[in-house]
Amino acid sequence: MFDCVLPTRNARNGQLFTRRGRLSIRNARYRDDPRPPDPGCACPTCRTASRAYLRHLHTCGEMTAATLMTLHNLFFYLDIMEGIRQSIRLCRFEEYRRETLRLLAAVDEEEEPRGAL
């Protein structure tokens, strides 16, 4: 499957897995960003916490940041696995694999928060 410690270790270091690549919450550009970490994600973290809030918790050394980001990263892994299972059932795994790898190839999101100069 996947590396079993990766979701937790990356979360402790301020990295979130998103459908558009990795998001490093330490980046200053997220300081005032009201968006969820991954707008397409339905996990509890994305439903309740903004990027700005997670960045604040992380930069303050608050363990809640690691907990919330780990929860998101694990949910992301589960979602990827569900997509794999579904694509196999539909005989479309290769198409799913190519599209998923294309989306995940980014190191970080390039778009700026709305209203940024």
User: Does any domain span residue 101?
Assistant: no
Alpha-carbon span 57 to 68, nearest angstrom: 10
Assigned token pair, 30: 């997220």
Alpha-carbon span 94 to 111, nearest angstrom: 28
Domain count, the chain: 1
Chain centroid offset of residue 54 CA: 12
What is the predicted pLDDT for the residue at 114?
43
Q: Domain limits at 50?
A: 12-79
What is the predicted pLDDT for the residue at 112?
47
User: Does any domain span residue 59?
Assistant: yes
What is the predicted pLDDT for the residue at 106?
61
User: Does any domain span residue 19?
Assistant: yes
What is the predicted pLDDT for the residue at 117?
36
What is the predicted pLDDT for the residue at 68?
98
User: Does any domain span residue 95?
Assistant: no
User: Does any domain span residue 104?
Assistant: no
The number of beta carbons lying within 10 Å of the beta carbon of residue 56 is 16
Query: How far apart, in Å, are the Cα atoms of 117 and each of 29, 86, 113, 114?
Result: 11, 41, 9, 9
User: Does any domain span residue 22?
Assistant: yes
Asked whether the predicted pLDDT for residue 49 surpasses 90, the reply is yes
Tens digit of each residue's pLDDT (9 = 90 or more) over 31-46: 999 999 999 899 999 9
Asked whether the predicted pLDDT for residue 2 surpasses 80, the reply is no
User: Does any domain span residue 70?
Assistant: yes
User: Does any domain span residue 5?
Assistant: no
